[in-house]
Structures are given as structure tokens and as C-alpha cells.
Chains A and B, each alone.
Chain A
Amino acid sequence: MQSMETKRKVTQIAIHIILIIFSFIMLVPFAWMALTAFKSTTEATQVNPFVIFPSQWLTDSFKKVWNNMSFLLLYKNTLLLIFWRVVCAVLTATMAGYGFSRLEFKGRDMMFNLILFQMMIPSQIFLIPQYVMVSNMKMTNTIFALVFPGIVTAFGTFLLKQAYMGLPKDLEEAARMDGCNIFQTFLLIMAPLARSSMVALAIFTAVFAYKDLMWPLVVNTSATKMPLSAALATMQGQYSSNYPDLMAASLIACVPMIVLYLIFQKQFIEGIATSGGKL
């Protein structure tokens, strides 16, 4: 019995060691980002001897990029992008998901096949025509342009449809008996029950809106209209090899999202798990 106990302990420790090693690998890039950001350019490109910790913790790079890059504006653009993408996606998908799952009507299956079809197509196919549309509307360099491809979501519709399908049918019948029409049934009974999937969709949409790079790069080329992801990407060419500056900017860009994530960690992870697992 005792040997079993020791064996279990050994396994436990071994598992911890593996997990710690991997945690370390996950954290090193972030740590290096921070350490470089506090160095001077000379120190960052010094090889003999190689410097790991800055000899002086300089904040010059932070000041410089903060002044040059109008981060407040970038945060604002990113937040607006996320906010509108989430609102649009959740709103349209909640409705359409209900229509597809709980109502019988002509044309429904054909339309749903279109949804499935869209999910199979790589999104780059849409990119040029979407760009030309925005461009013809003279709407490039606006928040609208950033949100544009995410106004509706085939994936979200699918996700919400699955969610409604998992709900019991008698709830709806009871509501109908009470004299609710279809819209009231949806709004008062069914939609609230699907809210965990809505939250999941919201989080999924938010994360991917934040990470989206190519579309913002293409459509909002003005430095004041970009979200963080694109602004960071274009910054690299600008400061070429000034790594302390690049790392400082990266850090400034990542920290708010990391803080948000640490606060809402549980929701984040559940949201990703449900939205990913439902497909």
C-alpha cells in the first residue's frame, strides 16, 4: 500500500515538473519582452558580455512609444472594434439561430446550407471584394470598416442553433399556451436560456476581433484609425531594429488584454471551450 502511495507521489511530482517546464517555456517570451523593454538600445544589442537583466531599468522606450503612437486612440479603436463586432454577432446570431433551430418554414434548409457552406470557405476569399465594397463606400479608415466583415457570423449562427436545439421543447409550448407569440417566446423564454452560449460567442468574437491582423492592415491604413494589432505590426517596419521600443510597445499593447483575461479568466476559458467544442 505504501509503495502505491509513494508511486502516486512520484507521478504527481513528475507531472508538476513537466507542467512547470512548459509554463516556463510559455512565460519566457513575455519575460524577455519586458526585460528588453527596460534596456537601452546599446545594452539590448550588446553581446560581449550578453546582458539578461538591464543594468538600469530605463523607461525611455515606454515614454517614446507612448508619445509617438497615441495608444489611447489605439485602445479606443480596438475597444470599439470588439464592442461592435460582439454586439452585431450576438444579436444576429441569437435571432437567426432561433429561426433555424425552432421554426419550420420554406427555404430554411437551403439557407442553412449557405451558412454551412460559408464556414468551409477560407476567409481570404472574401477579403478583396469586401475591401472593394468598403472602399467604394468611401468608408476606409473608419470603425465601420473594421467591424464590416463581422456584422454577421455564420459560425455564431451555427453555435446558437446548437444551443437552442439542446433546450426542451415543452417550454416553448407552455409559453404558446400562455398566449405568447413567436417573437415573445423567443425574447422572453428562449433567448435568456441560451445566454451561456451568447457569452461564449461574445468572448470568442472578442478574442478573434482583437487578434485579427490582415483585415485591419488592409482597410484602415491611417495610423490613428488602426486597432492595436495592426498598429504594432506596422510599427516594426518603422522602428526597424530598435528592439527596446518594439518590446515596450508590444508590452503596452498586450497588458490591458492580459489584465482583462486574468480578471475574467473563468469566463474566457469556458467561452472558448463551449464555442470551440460545439462546432
Chain B
Amino acid sequence: MVEIQNANPTVLDVSQLPSRSRKSATVRSGPDSKCDSILYPKRPWLSSTSSSSDEEDEYEEEPVDEQDIYDLIATISDPEHPTTLGQLSVVRLPDIHLAPPPTERLGPNSLVTVAVELTPTVNHCSLATVIGLAVRCRLEQTLPPNYRVDVTMKDGSHAQDDQVNKQLGDKERVAAALENDTLRKMLDDMLKTCSM
């Protein structure tokens, strides 16, 4: 058994993590709200053609933004603990940057850079590279080809952030690392908890 790097990290509750607040108004929950679905229907009665406003909301066009990226990587499991990177604050919403920002994007083929800065739970964490690799893998598997992924350690968060950043930035070393069966298996385990 490898020595545990940080045996007792701070873990956030899932409800505390940043999430996309639903547009729909708060749903009433009191004892008197049982028949709300009948009394305040979403779509007009007897309507055959118009789709409900909810459905149209759900299918509205919304470009990939920081929260999307966060949702993709926050659910990756930590290699040491049975919690996610989001809960451990290794991945944090303010440390995700898109360039150009979602509002200014031009066409579907314009190049977008995703910069993710990770904050290891302890600054000597030897698993930082693995975590970085997992984040990189996850994003490359789920983002379209016009997105360039750049994963780094946040400045000063890791004793050897230069080294780690260099490894994560080096395409060939990344490719070589992914050939390693043990590492591959570890990454697969970490990504298992990610939903689509």
C-alpha cells in the first residue's frame, strides 16, 4: 500500500458545489402543493401543437461555458479518497477559463482554449500529475476537436508545479503515459464516476 498523501482532506458536500441554477422558479413544496401539477399546468390544456415552455427552455442554445467544463471534470474521482475532485476543491469554477469567452464565440469551427488550473490538496502531492492527466483525458474525450485543453497546477499550489506543468503540457509524454497499462487502469477508475 502506497503511503497516503493527504489522509484527512476537507470534503465539501455535493450541495455546496457550484451548479447551474435552474431557470424555473422555485417549486413549492408545502403540504398544500400536492395538486400543483394539476392546478398550475405547464402547457395549456387541450393544446396539440405548441410544445411546453419548459421543453423550449431546455432546448435553448447555450454555448459551452465554464460551468459546463466544471461539470465535466468535477465528478472525476480522487485517486486516494472516495470523493470527487469537485468536493475536494481540486477543481474550482473560478480556475476555469475559456478563451475567447462563450459570449464572443464566432462559429462552430473557431478555436477555443480551455485553461484549467488545479489546486492539489497538499503541495507535495505526488498524484498531481495523475490528476492533471485525468482532467486532460476527460476533456479531450468530451470536448469537440476545436477545443485546445491546457491543464496546469495553480501557481504556488504545488512544490514542483513547473515540473508537473511541463509533463502535462508535453503531448508526447502524455501519449506515452496513456500507453502505460497501470496508469491507464487508474485513470479509467477515476473517470468511472463521471456521468455524461
Instruction: Report whether chain A binds chain B.
Output: no
The chain A residues found within 8 Å of chain B, CB to CB, are none
The chain B residues found within 8 Å of chain A, CB to CB, are none
